[in-house]
Structure 1
Amino acid sequence: MQRALRAYRAVLRLVRCLPKDSRPYYSKYARENFVNYREVDNVNLEELFRRTYDHATWVLKKYSVDQAATATLKEICRS
């Protein structure tokens, strides 16, 4: 649970790197996904962390944000 909360905080920090008009959408999207998947067993949790990282990097690339910002999220999701 602690790792998931750290990942959620990291995603919300990354949302702040996005253009102002797209932030509400992505912060709501992140919250909905973390809430929907909070009852996942450990086997599927690793897959969700991988998808979290992949999706975050995709969104940052879409908005041409420096991908180095994902270092913290990568550390959390890959550990």
Structure 2
Amino acid sequence: MANAGLRAYREVLRLVRRLPADARPYYAKYARENFVNYRDLSADDDLAALLRRAYAHSSWVLSKYSIDAGKAAGRLKEVCGAEGGA
């Protein structure tokens, strides 16, 4: 689970590239700030909860821009271990 945070961040940045060009800088910065704030998290349970939240939020942002989160965020879902949909 130690590298899961880094893998999730990488997947989120890949998803940001699917957003409209004018929205990308905002969401890339937002993702970086959130992942940096929690990079020193030690408990696996807390990390798992944060990863599920990252998936849920990413799915919400994709749907906001009419992007099918089910297809686009499949790899992020695997990394985050998200159950069901967002």
TM-score where L is the length of structure 1: 0.95
Pick one of 63, 69, 72 that aligns with 2:72.
Answer: 69
Cα RMSD for the two superposed structures: 1.1
Choose between structure 1 and 2: higher helix proportion: 1
Match of 2:19 in 1: 18
Give structure 2 stretches of 5+ with no counterpart: none
TM-score, normalised by the number of residues in structure 2 = 0.87
Deviations 1:5-43 (A, max 9, x none): 110000000000000000000000000000000111222
Q: 1:38 — aligned with what? A: 39
The unaligned stretches of length 5 or more in structure 1 are none
Counterpart of 1:21 in 2: which secondary structure?
A: coil
Q: Secondary structure at the match of 2:39?
A: coil
Count of aligned residue pairs for this structure pair:
79
